[in-house]
Amino acid sequence: FGLGVASGQVTFRHTITGEVLNLDDSLPEGRDTEAVRQFLQTGINPYTEVKECLPKGEEAYLVACSGCHGHYAEGKVGPGLNDSYWTYPKNKTDKGLFETIFGGAQGMMGPHGSHLQLDEMLLMMAWIRHLYTGDVAEADWLTDEQKKNFTPFKPDKSAEENSSASEEQKTA
Ligand code: HEM
Ligand code: CA
């Protein structure tokens, strides 16, 4: 018999029902990365504030989440994920955030665990944390060291300038 995915130390539970989540429902790809292995043992996302991970996380977030939560997680039909207010306070932990993404919450917030790779979920979580605009002191997901280096997210000004510059070129 195989070890399955849920061979880590941490038990993951549905955010609303408390039922144990079965990680074997996840996609077969992206299960056995070093980051996933670590996360299943510790409940801590090793990708948080790792620069090389952010673009991949952004891409996954834009595909699956931004339609409801906004381009910068500022909130739309779903609540903002970039501030220090959480409907479910456990989302301040990596374990809690993962559980909410994997198993869903209420209403439009359905489960995403069966169509995303586990590694992709960790990347996406790192991007969501990077989008944070609130008080760093309340960012429980950051280590003390990470708190010292964290600067609240600001949309990329140069990207906006670039796009308006190219529009000017078009109309010129
Ligand atoms: C709630 C993340 C996709 C609609 C939440 C919460 C998180 C989250 C963390 C709880 C926020 C809190 O505690 O304050 C994500 C991520 C997504 C995703 C990472 C992509 C994988 C979506 C989509 C929709 C949606 C596609 C719309 C179809 C909602 C709604 C809530 C919510 C309405 C409030 C649910 C409740 O309070 O129980 N989402 N979400 N989300 N999300 Fe999403
Ligand atoms: Ca919020």
> Is residue 49 in a domain?
yes
> Is residue 73 in a domain?
yes
Q: Name the residue range of residue 32's domain.
A: 23-171
Q: Give distance in angstroms: CA of 162 to centre of ligand 2.
A: 30
> Is residue 18 in a domain?
no
Q: Shortest CA distance to 41 belongs to which of 10, 2, 3?
A: 10
Which of 45, 59, 68, 132 is the best mutation target for the ligand 1 pocket, counting ligand atoms within 8 Å of the beta carbon and taking the most? Answer: 68
21, 99 in Cβ contact below 8 A?
yes
* β partners of residue 13: 20
Q: What is the pLDDT of residues 125-171, one digit of tens each?
A: 999 999 999 999 999 999 999 999 999 999 876 555 544 444 555 55
Q: Give distance in angstroms: CA of 110 to centre of ligand 1.
A: 8
Question: Which residues line ion ligand 2, judged by CB < 5 Å?
Answer: 79-80, 83, 85
26, 113 in Cβ contact below 8 A?
yes
- The confidence score (pLDDT) of residue 158 equals 57
Complex ipTM over 0.90: yes
Domain count, the chain: 1
> Is residue 14 in a domain?
no
Q: What is the pLDDT of residues 1-55, one digit of tens each?
A: 344 565 678 999 999 999 999 999 899 999 999 999 999 999 999 999 999 999 9
> Is residue 114 in a domain?
yes
| CATH number reported for the structural domain that contains residue 155 in this entry | 1.10.760.10
CA distances from 35 to 25, 30, 87, 118 (A): 18, 10, 27, 9
